[in-house]
Structure 1
Amino acid sequence: MDDKKKVVENLNSLFSRYSGKEKLENEIEKLQSHLLEMEIDKNRLEKNETNTKKAIAAKQEAEQKLNEADVRIETLTYELEELRNKGTNENSFTLIEEITPSSFEPYIERLASITSGNDPFITAYMTYEQVQANVIQGKLTKYLDQDTLQLLKKINSNTGYALFYDNMKMVCEVIVPPIPITESLVEIAGSFNVGPLTKLLDREMTVCVLAAHAGESLIGITSDKTVFDEDMVIRSSVKAKHTKGGFSQRRFERLRDEDIAHHADKVRSALKDLLASSVVDIDMMFLCGDIVLADHIVDEMNIEIPLMERNIDARIEKHDTDNILRSIFSCRRYRL
């Protein structure tokens, strides 16, 4: 159908050549013109029920993509304004990356191999409570410059962090571990003290994981932090988000909320059974994915196990659920 092809071609053109609001609005105007032509030809199309359904589906798809484009424009405009207001003179990290469990050992070995004869290296371990209270200012102010102190304030960690700092700034590293640091330390020596961090990450423990998503959640138990000893994926039918607005959206969202509540009940029931059947004590439970949903699931369970929230990319992959463990037990590295 020629009119349908016009819509599809314009949609493809719109999203492949999108480079700004003005251009996008021009493409939207062209698209709306074609949609109007489709309305004019509606009587002719009604003679063929199959084509009519296809035309309506194409129109709905076009409207949805237009709505998404409008939202994207608004988001980009806001982000651009934020960047302008923020300015360009603010200090920032030169590197932020994840250190996976498999790459941590060579990283820590290289760090430990750096030595000096005149004690210029600073090692500091800060607990979550100390980070929140900004204890770093009192302990290390005389050793660190103001730019470094300001960068340390930006690190958001619920497990504390380890700082490895050379006053010649050849090494300026912060490691945020996945497991909470429980003992603080400040040491100035001719090498970095990596022992407490290595001991922390080598700690033997059994953990339970809840990766919550609306309609598809994973629960599992692991004793070696690399593969699940036992895991399961709980799936439910949950409606996709509604984008049209009006009364229909409110009703649709209410039904979606009911679907999510039903899914939460299924996951909660399965999690209770998993914990009850475990023959070993669980040392810690990690919550990831949709943290709000995960919190809702465990809130009504009165779990006495320590809970840790991990803001990670907890995608549930059919043939590789252990990828979530790799993300959970990765360290975050900041280069100052």
Structure 2
Amino acid sequence: MLDELLGRAELKARIEELEEEKRHLERRAEAEEERRSEAARKRQEAETTINRLEDRIEGLEERIERLSGDDETEVAFRGIEEFHGERREEILSRLSSFETGPEGALTAMVHDDVPDAVSDALGDRSALVRRAAPCLVCLDDAGLVTVALAPPTPPAAFVEWGTGFRLDRSWFTPVEPTWVALVRSDLFALGIYDGDAVTLVDEVESDVMGAHSKGGFSQARFERRRDQQIDEHLDRARSVIETHVEATASEDDTESGEGEPPVPRNADVVVLGEETVLGQFTDLAERTATVDATGDPGDALRSAVREFWTVRLSLL
């Protein structure tokens, strides 16, 4: 009665209406965010499907091109091997020791189009070079050696005839100690790779939310929280890289202690890891690459280094 006399009953009713309207708008906004998240997910799935179909189309087009001639026999690699460590040194040493007469050995770094010199030497089998690209082709005029190597850090395209094959060890493994970082959305490891062994220098592990479960956060709120955790983790990873690299760059007169790994000074930085996070490190790295490395930081870093610096050899 008193509320009605003072006009407060009408105001309270209006407040309740506004609060209900507010709750309704919040529910609509949350539902809209979830719809946008679902649309983004479907778009990513569609893009993945498109990329896969484009790869299949490209492969089929290459096969049609190979079969379009009079000889319908499909060419195939005589063999494929992946190697690293001592086996890598053995293979590179064998190729480096090959000697022939003037203009008898052809070396070509192929990224896209196959050079005429390679096509002329291999004929129909030059299709294998397109399939292996980017690759370093080594062949001689007698056909004794016909191989394609996939260097982890390939040079720019070139074609060169000589008395031997042009092989630079730095294309296949670091010739000086190199900073190597592994970055995942929940794990980071920084180490030094000298071409033989990996030494872990620093690591960061973060507690990032996993898959969304029923109840609790809405999908949209869950994704926002998880994205924030990942961003914080990546910021910490960047800080670790900058701290170590800048510190060693300013300590040119400091020697490593006995038993300690050689400190890379003004060295390259290679960042490996998940494709979704590598884009945030391109300004710090001379090279980035996607790898599939799991486990604790030390094991994951060694696995990433092994995967990246593994060389594929294709017999043409």
Q: TM-score, normalised by structure 2?
A: 0.60
In structure 2, the residue corresponding to 1:217 is in which secondary structure?
strand
The match for 2:106 is 123
Which residues in structure 2 correspond to 1:289-328 (within 5 Å)? 289-296=273-280, 298-299=281-282, 302-303=283-284, 307-317=286-296, 320=299, 321-328=301-308
**Structure-2 separation of matches of 1:176 and 1:266:** 33
Determine whether 1:142 maps to 2:120. yes
2:103–2:161 Cα contact (<8 Å) kept: no
Distance in 1 between the 2:211 and 2:133 partners?
31
Equivalent position to 1:219, from 190, 203, 210: 190
Distance in 1 (CA, whole Å) between partners of 2:168 and 2:107 is: 11
Change (3 A) 1:313 1:335: farther
Between the aligned partners of 2:173 and 2:272, the Cα distance in structure 1 is 22
In the alignment, is the contact (CA less than 8 A) between 2:150 and 2:313 conserved in 1?
Answer: yes
Deviation at 1:215, TM superposition (A): 0.7
Tell me the CA shift for residue 275 of structure 1. Answer: 1.2
Offset of 1:112 from its aligned partner?
Answer: 5.4
Give secondary structure in 1 for the equivalent of 2:175. Answer: coil
Change (3 A) 1:142 1:219: same
**C-alpha distance in 2, partners of 1:156/1:243?**
43
SS at the partner of 1:267?
Answer: helix
Residues 44-98 of structure 1 show CA distances to partners (whole Å, capped at 9, x for unaligned) of xxxxxxxxxxxxxxxxxxxxxxxxxxx9xxx9xx99xx69x94897655454442
Match of 1:98 in 2: 82
Note closer, same or farther for the CA distance 1:199–1:287 as it changes in structure 2 (3 Å cut).
closer
Change (3 A) 1:242 1:331: same
CA gap of 1:95–1:257, structure 2 versus 1, over 3 A, is: farther
- In the alignment, the residues of structure 2 paired with residue 205 and residue 177 of structure 1 have an alpha-carbon distance, to the nearest angstrom, of 17
* The structure with more radius of gyration: 2
Give the aligned residue type for 2:136. Answer: A
Structure 1 residue 272: Cα displacement: 1.4
Q: Return the alpha-carbon distance in structure 1 between the equivalents of residues 133 and 159 of structure 2.
A: 19
Q: Cα 1:322–1:179, aligned 2, differ >3 Å: closer, same or farther? A: same
Question: Alpha-carbon deviations, 1:148-199, whole Å to 9, x = none?
Answer: 2x22223343xxx32123577664311111223258342266xxx3452447
Superposed CA RMSD in Å reads 3.8
* C-alpha distance in 1 between matches for 2:82 and 2:296: 20
Q: Could you state the TM-score of these two structures normalised by the residue count of structure 1?
A: 0.57
Say whether the 8 Å CA contact 1:99–1:330 is kept in structure 2.
yes
- Residue 153 of structure 1: aligned partner: 130
| Aligned ranges 1:76-95 → 2 under 5 Å | 86=60, 91-95=75-79
Instruction: Report the 3-state secondary structure (helix = DSSP H, G, I; strand = E; otherwise coil) of the residue aligned with 2:111.
Output: helix
How far, CA to CA, are the matches of 2:272 and 2:308 in structure 1?
A: 8
Corresponding letter in the other structure for 1:268? R
Q: CA deviation at 1:261?
A: 1.0
Q: In the TM superposition, what whole-angstrom CA distance separates every residue of 1:287-308 from its partner, at most 9, and x where no partner exists?
A: 2111331221x25xx53xx621
Amino acid at match of 1:255: R
Is the counterpart of residue 282 in structure 1 residue 266 in structure 2? yes
Take 1:167 and 1:176, find their aligned partners in 2: how far apart are those partners? 22
